[in-house]
Structure 1
């Protein structure tokens, strides 16, 4: 299984914590550092100063007495991209937002951000094309190509947030729309001529069957020259159209298309003729 494409979602965002959740998270973090003899004094001082702001400084006891009036919004970073420059954009200290107000900060979590995060979790089947003839074909013999209909169907991932009075979700869906065939040599003809096989009746390409030998495949390739002692590298790339739906959003919303391909070795032999 492969990621949907090269596009990457936000590396950081802000999400809500209840007063109790934020207090526990902060106190746990403080205790872990303050009670660890291996931690340097500057680290202990830093977490202590952070704690004091919300416990006994600018705020009192993490605003627990206002727990029913709002929530804390805290920067969160993608754990796989913690050190990326993009993950450092969310550098605002935790801030209080009253119920019903919109956080005045870029990257505050929304259904769209959840959809973008879900995009990164979509996994697609490997793009291995079935060929007939398989692996070894002949010069000037049409080779049929198709994808397993059971595998190549829409794939969806849902991301949800239900915390501190915020209840939103988004579902990102990838749908296969076409297969691009690159024969690996200019000495070949593709079917169709563009090399791009669209989905027809829910499938890409058409399986070869007895009785189709004299027909032109709706998706395939015809090699015009032998591969000699080697092979041609046939590359098959599926384009996946991506969209999302989410809380409070009307209809499907687009995300960048994804492409994923693999290369297969194809041996092409000359048709041997016997002279008498």
Structure 2
């Protein structure tokens, strides 16, 4: 993990007469163009290892977990301000608010008012760019009660973003190709070729992954819905099943669910073989946070097959 970036100017705050007085803040712009939220004592840029992409080009894109959550809740001078900043808390009502720990005693009427601890919590403002301190008599936010679920309701990643994170943590590969005639052997024009995807969670699914952020958990389930085989002779075959593996006892029988018949030889092709490319489509359904949706990812793998002609000796 790499962190970089510093604040040129931070928020100035003082606590006087039981009220928190805020100084104006200004976000700094690092050489990289990264802007920090107002009032942040520092600005961290986090780079996360995306993981091993694997032989087939990776396990799919996802949304990384930065320090600012998954959405923006405020704009200041054209800058989007994140809903959550670890050092400041959650954005709500023109301020960042952080849970007061420990909470005041339940009988502290000046803080709780008519509310009870089981109805919510007391939060302290940490940065209020819309209410800069301007001297005596200026309204200054202070420790405030918020009902359960009010603070942080717009912060953090959305369910859809959590679904993308779940997919990024999966290992989704291209087909583990089985083909007859197998590489190294030569088939014949007019005779059936069998193709299949050797079944495994990484090549056919299903894979199930859950990701949690705050009170929201999203569960994604991925499985291969089809494999499109480019046979190298200008034709393609779409197989909605993994395909049945060939056995010698089947003889010249055609595949029941995933096969092809070549009409000319592979002579003249690279290595005198057809290049066969299998493109797997992964369909991912996700649910959580009161929402649901579907995503797709594709992966490729390839092999070769040689096709010749039956020679009749007179």
Question: Shorter-chain TM-score: which interval?
Answer: 0.5 to 0.7
Listed one character per residue, the Cα deviations across residues 159-194 of structure 1 (whole Å, up to 9, x for unaligned) are 112xxxx322111111111111110113x6x6xxxx
CA RMSD of aligned residues (A): 3.7
Name the SS for the 1:185 alignment partner: coil
Residue 212 of structure 1 and its aligned partner are, at CA, apart by: 1.8
The whole-number CA distance in structure 2 between the counterparts of 1:219 and 1:274 is 33
Residue 234 of structure 1 and its aligned partner are, at CA, apart by: 0.7
Name the SS for the 1:118 alignment partner: helix
Structure 2 CA distance for partners of 1:232 and 1:110, relative to 1, 3 Å: same
Question: Is 1:75–1:92's contact at 8 Å kept on the other side of the alignment?
Answer: no
Match of 1:134 among 151, 176, 182: 182
Residue 78 of structure 1 and its aligned partner are, at CA, apart by: 6.9
Q: Paired residue for 1:182? A: 230
Residue 122 of structure 1 and its aligned partner are, at CA, apart by: 2.1
Q: Paired residue for 2:238? A: 196
Do structure 1's residue 155 and structure 2's residue 203 form an aligned pair?
Answer: no
Q: Paired residue for 2:22? A: 58
Q: Paired residue for 2:81? A: 92
Q: Superposed, which structure 2 residues align to 1:97-108 within 5 Å? A: 98=146, 99-101=148-150, 108=156
Residue 44 of structure 1 and its aligned partner are, at CA, apart by: 5.4
If the length of structure 2 is used for normalisation, what is the TM-score?
Answer: 0.53
Name the SS for the 2:266 alignment partner: coil
Structure 2 CA distance for partners of 1:78 and 1:238, relative to 1, 3 Å: same
Match of 2:165 among 113, 117, 121: 117
Q: Paired residue for 1:40? A: none
Listed one character per residue, the Cα deviations across residues 43-74 of structure 1 (whole Å, up to 9, x for unaligned) are 4533xx14x36997539xxxxxxxxxxxx9x9
Q: Which runs of 5+ in 1 are unaligned?
A: 1-28, 34-42, 60-71
Structure 2 CA distance for partners of 1:76 and 1:177, relative to 1, 3 Å: farther
Residue 157 of structure 1 and its aligned partner are, at CA, apart by: 1.9
Q: Paired residue for 1:274? A: 313
Q: Paired residue for 2:251? A: 213
Residue 116 of structure 1 and its aligned partner are, at CA, apart by: 2.2
Residue 88 of structure 1 and its aligned partner are, at CA, apart by: 11
Q: Paired residue for 1:146? A: 196
Residue 125 of structure 1 and its aligned partner are, at CA, apart by: 3.0
Structure of higher RCO (CA pairs closer than 8 Å, 6+ residues apart):
1
Question: Is 2:170–2:207's contact at 8 Å kept on the other side of the alignment?
Answer: yes
Structure 1 moving runs of 4+ over 6 Å: 74-78
Q: Paired residue for 2:32? A: none
Q: Which runs of 5+ in 2 are unaligned?
A: 24-39, 51-62, 73-79, 86-90, 98-145
Residue 119 of structure 1 and its aligned partner are, at CA, apart by: 2.0
Q: Paired residue for 2:8? A: 45
Match of 2:281 among 214, 239, 244: 239
Structure 2 CA distance for partners of 1:233 and 1:180, relative to 1, 3 Å: same
The whole-number CA distance in structure 2 between the counterparts of 1:54 and 1:210 is 83
